[in-house]
Structure 1
Amino acid sequence: MNQAFAVIDFSQTTFEMTILAQHDLTPAKQLIQKCRETRDPYLDLGNCGITDLNDLPELFECSHLETLILSNVWWDYGKFQPINSGNTGPDNILESIPEEMAQLNKLTKLVIGGGGHEL
């Protein structure tokens, strides 16, 4: 079930209203569960409709993770081409990274930003 809410920024002389949708996080939760079961060191959570990582506390239990993808699209500098997430859901739009990310102590690569929604 999708829920929408508006964020209005009155700090400028003109205000900007952004409609954010809270998407069903079931696909992200399933990917995390599979990652936990297989102990795969790579997890692509791009295009899962994530707006707040605190909604996925099980992610922080994946202490085996070495690579975490949170971007919808990112640049591969070695191949000089954009890479799209393998997922096909709504864009992730993240505004912060929680302190709990420090629990992923084997994480060596975090891909975040891109897709027009830079953190």
Structure 2
Amino acid sequence: MQKEITDSLVRIMTKIKDGALLQKFLDDLLTPAEKLMLAKRLMVAVLLQRGYSCGAVCRALKLSRGTVFLIQRELARGGDGYRTVFREFFQESYNKKTAGAIERFLNKITLPVKGSPSSMRRWKHALYQ
């Protein structure tokens, strides 16, 4: 029964082609906290695949180590869903607007190299952008 319910949700979401309609649907379906948690989980997978440590991801996204480790474990086991989404939307810069937002976020959480003025300028610029 649970699989049928979740399959129905997936079918509905894949049939919605209009971004504005999908946004309205998600606004009605999920609480703001649920939407934020889903977005954070996706960002965890992106950051881990970009080579960030679990600790850095926990601090940047304000998530528990348990949440980050669950996603890290899924990636280690294969994580085909995460990896496909990462490849399609982030690695190949398929969606330039989203990729740009991700890069700005990464610049904000990537701490400057100690003693490097250019790294400090990059970080300050990213913070106040």
Q: TM-score, normalised by structure 1?
A: 0.27
- Greater RCO, 1 or 2 (C-alpha within 8 Å, sep 6+): 1
Q: Which structure shows the higher strand fraction? A: 1
Q: Which structure shows the higher helix fraction? A: 2
User: Highest CA radius of gyration, 1 or 2?
Assistant: 2
